[in-house]
């Protein structure tokens, strides 16, 4: 199935690929600083140029839906080749192409794109209550903890725990209170004062960063709490000297060297502060595609689709206005409950059929999340074996 993309030069292709292979492709492309679409195009073109018998069969059992974009006409030509190669299935053909591309793009240490930037994840959706705070907190915890290697069919490598800063960018201060931390009182140094006043002493904001439960996270998880005056941010940004969209980036810049990853828990609106939040997630010069960007929690219901369309258009506007790329890292379908029937299952399949951004996790509506909030503990500490905690680790894995 294909559909034409605006601009006409590439077409969307819906196929399937084993999850581990897709992950390997994504990692290798990122390591080499190559755009995924370019990597897949090269893979298909190289596959077409090779003799049929030079492609070993790949195990494609458990292949998952996968969307990509190819130059117009390439998919048709590829399908013709598959038909002419003893009816190789398209899924098998793709898997062979991707496998061979990865194998022919070995990464030497010298070639590795050293991540010069702290990765920035902006968890956003102007729709209220969809799970921004939950997903920001859970993903941040999983990043700080790291992941063990997986065994079985999908052998995935262990991922180290990284120094992670959660930023409570929402004046409601839910993330701050859920982690049992006090909001910053008015008049003190805060993200707001540093965003609106460029003459603040840079180090002063670092002093407000609070370390979370050092025993469990071994000192790798920290929080920049919300402040009481954050409600005034939008109106105060209106009178900021110099560019407003860079205000969050400017305020957080002195903190970046202390963290590997910064996760922003965004507020439920699309005001000036949110533009600065989206801008903060933009791809910086020479940064690998997909290293930073926006992660969007959504619900499996019709109103969520309308809200996402609005957010997507805002992301496009910020990208165009400031001439930056903002990578959409994925959707997290949160509070999923198939007992809600057709609306939930239909809506889930609609999210999945988008393909770009991919659904990186489906988080069920379960009690552990609310309980963790109630006892003011990080979810991955309160209920580390819960399905919700597993999903947070899945998101971390998909963002690797």
Ligand X SMILES: Nc1ncnc2c1ncn2[C@@H]1O[C@H](COP(=O)(O)OP(=O)(O)OP(=O)(O)O)[C@@H](O)[C@H]1O
Q: Tell the smallest beta-carbon distance from residue 132 to ligand X (Å).
A: 4
Using CB under 5 A, pick the residue from 174, 194, 283, 335 that binds Mg ion: 174
Taking the C-alpha atoms of residue 326 and residue 311, their distance in angstroms, rounded to an integer, is 12
397 binds Mg ion (CB under 5 A): no
Of 67, 134, 193, 377, the one binding ligand X (CB under 6 A) is: 134
Q: Report, in Å, the least distance between residue 281 CB and ligand X.
A: 17
Interface with ligand X by CB under 6 A: which range of 18-26, 122-130, 179-187, 241-249? 122-130
- The answer to whether the beta carbons of residues 24 and 102 sit under 8 Å apart is yes
The SS3 assignment for 397 reads helix
Would you say 270 or 291 has its CB closer to ligand X?
A: 270
Q: How far is the CB of 374 from ligand X (least distance, A)?
A: 9
Alpha-carbon span 126 to 51, nearest angstrom: 51
Site for ligand X (CB under 6 A): which residue of 9, 50, 128, 316? Answer: 128
* Parallel, antiparallel or unpaired: strands 64-71 and 210-211: unpaired
Q: Long-range contacts: 343-351, Cβ < 8 Å, 24+? A: 343/300, 343/301, 343/302, 344/300, 344/301, 345/300, 347/299, 347/300, 347/301, 347/302, 347/304, 347/305, 348/300, 350/305, 351/298, 351/300
Toward ligand X, which CB reaches closer, 129 or 160?
Answer: 129
How far is Cα 59 from Cα 96, in angstroms, rounded to an integer? 10
What are the backbone dihedrals phi and psi of residue 171, each rounded to the nearest 5 degrees, phi first? -60, -20
What, of Mg ion, ligand X, none, does residue 29 touch, CB below 5 to 8 Å by kind? none
**Exposure of 163 by Cβ count < 10 A (0-12 exposed, 13-18 middle, 19+ buried)?**
middle
Tell whether residue 388 is a contact of ligand X (CB under 6 A).
Answer: yes
Q: Under rule CB under 6 A, which residues in 254-293 are in contact with ligand X?
A: 268
291 binds, among ligand X, Mg ion, none (CB under 5 to 8 A by kind): none
Asked whether position 62 contacts ligand X by CB under 6 A, the answer is no
Total residues in contact with Mg ion, by rule CB under 5 A: 3
Residue 373 region by backbone torsions, left for phi larger than 0, else alpha for psi between -120 and 50, else beta: alpha
Q: How far is the CB of 368 from ligand X (least distance, A)?
A: 8
- Residue 262's beta-bridge partner residues? 120, 165
Residue 252 interacting entry, from Mg ion, ligand X, none, C-beta within 5 to 8 Å by type: none
Judged by CB under 6 A, does residue 174 bind ligand X?
yes
One of 132, 328, 397, 398 touching Mg ion (CB under 5 A): 132
Query: Interface with ligand X includes 129 (CB under 6 A)?
Result: yes
Judged by CB under 6 A, the chain residues 317 through 376 that form the site for ligand X are: 334-335, 363, 365-366, 369-370, 373
Contacting positions for Mg ion (CB under 5 A): 132-133, 174
């Amino acid at each position: 199935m294909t559909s034409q993309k605006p601009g006409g030069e590439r077409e969307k292709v819906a196929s399937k690929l084993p999850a581990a292979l897709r992950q390997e492709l994504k990692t290798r492309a990122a390591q080499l600083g190559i755009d995924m679409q370019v990597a897949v195009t090269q893979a298909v073109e190289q596959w077409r140029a090779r003799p049929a018998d030079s492609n070993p069969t790949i195990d494609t059992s458990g292949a998952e839906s996968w969307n990509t974009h190819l130059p117009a006409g390439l998919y048709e030509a590829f399908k013709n080749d598959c038909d002419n190669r003893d009816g190789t299935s398209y899924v098998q053909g793709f898997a062979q192409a991707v496998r061979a591309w990865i194998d022919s793009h070995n990464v030497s240490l010298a070639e590795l794109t050293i991540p010069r930037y702290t990765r920035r994840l902006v968890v956003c959706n102007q729709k209220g209550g969809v799970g921004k705070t939950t997903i920001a907190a859970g993903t941040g915890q999983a990043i700080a903890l790291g992941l063990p290697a997986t065994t079985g069919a999908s052998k995935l490598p262990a991922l180290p725990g990284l120094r992670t800063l959660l930023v409570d960018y929402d004046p409601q201060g839910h993330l701050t209170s859920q982690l049992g931390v006090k909001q910053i009182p008015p008049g003190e140094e805060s993200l707001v004062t540093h965003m609106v006043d460029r003459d603040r002493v840079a180090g002063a904001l670092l002093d407000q960063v609070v370390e979370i439960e050092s025993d469990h996270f071994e000192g790798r998880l920290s929080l920049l709490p919300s402040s009481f005056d954050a409600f005034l941010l939008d109106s105060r940004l209106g009178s900021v000297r110099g560019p407003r969209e860079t205000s969050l980036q400017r305020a957080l810049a002195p903190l970046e060297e202390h963290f590997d990853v910064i996760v922003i828990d965004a507020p439920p609106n699309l005001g000036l502060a949110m533009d600065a939040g989206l801008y903060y997630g933009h791809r910086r010069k020479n940064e690998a595609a997909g290293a930073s960007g926006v992660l969007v929690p959504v619900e499996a219901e019709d109103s969520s689709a309308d809200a996402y369309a609005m957010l997507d258009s805002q992301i496009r506007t910020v990208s165009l206005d400031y001439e930056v790329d903002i990578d959409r890292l994925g959707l997290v379908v949160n509070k999923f409950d198939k007992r809600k029937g057709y609306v939930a299952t239909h809506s889930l399949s609609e999210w999945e059929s988008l393909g770009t951004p991919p659904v990186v996790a489906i988080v069920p509506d379960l009690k552990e999340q609310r309980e963790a909030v109630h006892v003011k503990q990080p979810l991955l500490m309160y209920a580390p074996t819960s399905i919700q905690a597993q999903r947070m680790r899945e998101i971390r894995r998909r963002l690797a």
